[in-house]
Amino acid sequence: MSEKSKLTAAVCALALVAAGLVFATRGAQAQQTDRAKQIGKRLMCMCGCKQILTACNHVGCQVSGAMLKELDQRVARGDADDLILQSFVQEYGTEVIAEPPTKGFDGIAWFLPSIALVGGLAIVIVVILRWARRPVPASTGPKVPDELLARARAQADRETED
């Protein structure tokens, strides 16, 4: 390989590395922003607006601005999600997390709908079974002849089907 070719190859390699670095950094930034958004959706803004951190739209809201800045910094530092959330809890209290904890007394909030669904389902099935087993009340009217019943069924079929 000639000197010129070596130089060209070196320049190309450097250009590739540089391009790779630029794209890699861009990718990392995009990921950070997305990650920060995702974590921001799990936090409440503490300005009193009762909105999700990323949805607080008060102009010049000092609280959400500072919180978002802190979140961005922690994401840029590469902190784990749980660690970031924990640090916000330490700073603002448990109220900062948008969802109730899954453990302890607060875990009931998560279980209640499931209990209602499972319990309700059980009740509905029991009710259906009980109704199905209930004896048919004896007919007080005269028995409808089979032929008449067949005619009624045929007529109903004709009128409800094509």
Partner 1 sequence: MDLFGSFALILAFICALYAIGGGIGAILTRKPLLIKSARHAGMAVCVLIFLATGSLIYLFFTDNFSVAYVVAHSNRDLSTLYKVSALWAGQEGSLLFWSFLLSIYVFSVLVTYRGKHPELMPYVGVILAGVQLFFLTLNNFVASPFRVLGTMGAGGVWQVFTRADGNGLTPLLQYPEMVIHPPNLYLGYTGFTIPFAFALAALLGRYPGEKWIHLTRKWTMIAWCFQTMGILLGAHWAYAVLGWGGYWAWDPVENASLMPWLTGTAFLHSVMMQEKRGMMKVWNVWLVFCTFMLCILGTLLTRSGIVSSVHAFAQSSIGAWFVGFLAVILLVCLISFLKNRDYLRSENQLDSMISRESSFLFNNLILLVACIAILSGTLFPVFSEWVEGTKISVGAPFFNRVNIPVGLLLLFLTGVGPLLAWRRTSLESLRRNFAWPLAAGLLAGAIAFPLGCRDFFSLMCLMLSVFVVLTIGQEFYRGARVIRARTNCDFLSALVQLTLRNTRRYGGYVVHFGIVMIFVGIAGAAFNQDKQAEMTIGSTMDIGRYHLVLQSMDSKPERNYTSERMIFEVMRDSRPMMMLYPERRFFQSNEQSGTMVAIYSTLREDLYVVYAGRSPDTNVPVIHAYLNPLVKWIWFGGLVVVMGTLLALVPNRQPVLVLKTADQPVPVKGAAQAVPAPISSYERKK
Contacts with partner 1 by CB under 8 A lie at 41-42, 44, 48-52, 55-57, 59-60, 65, 93-101, 104-106, 108-110, 112-113, 116-117, 120-121, 124, 127-128, 131-132, 134-136, 141-142, 144-145, 148, 151-152, 155, 159-162
- Within 10 angstroms of residue 89's Cβ, the number of other Cβ atoms is 15
* Residue with smaller CB distance to partner 1, 5 or 104: 104
CB closer to partner 1 out of 12 and 55: 55
* Nearest distance from C-beta of residue 21 to partner 1, angstroms: 24
To partner 1, the closest distance from the beta carbon of 147 in angstroms equals 10
**Closer to partner 1 at the Cβ: 4 or 103?**
103
Which lies closer to partner 1 via its Cβ, residue 4 or residue 143?
Answer: 143
Distance from C-alpha of 145 to C-alpha of 147, rounded to nearest angstrom: 5
Q: Identify any residues that bridge with 141 across adjacent strands, giving them in sequence order.
A: none
Minimum distance from residue 73 beta carbon to partner 1 (Å)? 17
CB burial readout 98-132, b (16+ within 10 A) else e:
eeeeeeeeeeeeeeeeeeeeeeeeeeeeeeeeeee
In angstroms, rounded to a whole number, what is the distance separating the alpha carbons of residues 161 and 4?
86
CB 96 within 8 A of CB 89: yes
